[in-house]
Amino acid sequence: MNHKAKGSNAERELIHLFWQAGWAAVRVAGSGSSKYPSPDVLASNNLRKIALEVKATRDHAKYFTKKEIEELVLFSNTFGAECFVAIKFPKGNWRFVSVEDLKITEKSYMISEEETELKGFLFEEVIEK
Amino acid sequence: MNHKAKGSNAERELIHLFWQAGWAAVRVAGSGSSKYPSPDVLASNNLRKIALEVKATRDHAKYFTKKEIEELVLFSNTFGAECFVAIKFPKGNWRFVSVEDLKITEKSYMISEEETELKGFLFEEVIEK
């Protein structure tokens, strides 16, 4: 499966989780290529709105470009949504990490698998915050 | 330009209008083919959320399948958004029509160009409702 298809499948998996929990969720078209900032997934349950940058990875740390994170924050501020990066490591559950819990390096934002387990919310936690 | 490309361009035009007005807006991926109901465009300005089914047409009336409208309403109720059909006839501006202003026929919902002009909100009106 190519990189893009893997990304779309990870997003569909999340969409499914949200609908199962009584939220509405959509994948955003052209995320990363649109002229305007946009997240990968948008979810809402009438009371809360959540914008997500979604990554499934086989590595033990996940990196994000500064642009990805800055656009996620800019989009969320304008749309009026909370934002998280949703990360899935091979043996773990989905974890939802706040932007302030990412480490800033010279060129990117990153978080290790260990930190993700420590600081990331589980799906059940993020929808009941 | 094929039907699908024309639809995407109409959606991009609307996305642009919303961002210009200080709202955030996205095109939804796989609208119409997703397993879950989804609109074509989602916009929010922190206070209000709007879900749109988007149609540009060269005809003098616009038809929607019952499925399109039912899914727009179902999505919007779950997401917590207001919903409209956004219609553009060749010589007109974008008009935003409430679902209750569509006419129900045996197999579809429809609205004529004339009724659209009478009952549809202009973009400036819909964002300031």
pLDDT tens digits for range A50-93: 999 999 999 999 999 999 999 999 999 999 999 999 999 988 89
Across the interface, whether the CB atoms of B29 and A24 are under 8 A apart is answered: no
Catalytic residue, from A31, A33, A34, A38: name it: A31
d(CA B122, CA A26): 26
Chain A residues touching B83 at Cβ < 8 A: none
Would an 8 Å CB–CB cutoff place A23 in contact with chain B? yes
d(CA A113, CA A111): 7
Q: Domain ranges in chain A? A: 3-128
Nearest CA in chain B to A50: B79
For A3-128, CATH number? 3.40.1350.10
Give the global pTM. 0.93
Would an 8 Å CB–CB cutoff place A78 in contact with chain B? yes
Query: Residue B123: phi, psi to the nearest 5?
Result: -55, -45
d(CA A96, CA B118): 47
Across the interface, whether the CB atoms of A44 and B19 are under 8 A apart is answered: no
Query: Residue B28: phi, psi to the nearest 5?
Result: -95, 135
Query: What pLDDT score does A5 carry?
Result: 72
d(CA B37, CA B33): 9
Kindly give the confidence (pLDDT) of every residue in chain B, 129 residues in length, as a single tens digit, with 9 standing for 90 and above.
566 677 788 999 999 999 999 999 999 998 766 789 999 999 999 899 999 999 999 999 999 999 999 999 999 999 999 999 999 998 889 999 999 999 999 999 999 999 999 999 999 999 997
Query: Which DSSP letter does residue B36 get?
Result: S
Query: What pLDDT score does B80 carry?
Result: 97
Query: What pLDDT score does B8 carry?
Result: 84
Across the interface, whether the CB atoms of A27 and B34 are under 8 A apart is answered: yes
What ipTM does this complex have? 0.91
- Using CB atoms, pick whichever of A16, A30, A44 lies closest to residue B27: A30
Would an 8 Å CB–CB cutoff place A112 in contact with chain B? no
- Is residue B56 within 8 A of residue B83, CB to CB? The reply is no
- Using CB atoms, pick whichever of A28, A47, A80 lies closest to residue B26: A28
Verify whether residue B31 is a known catalytic residue. yes
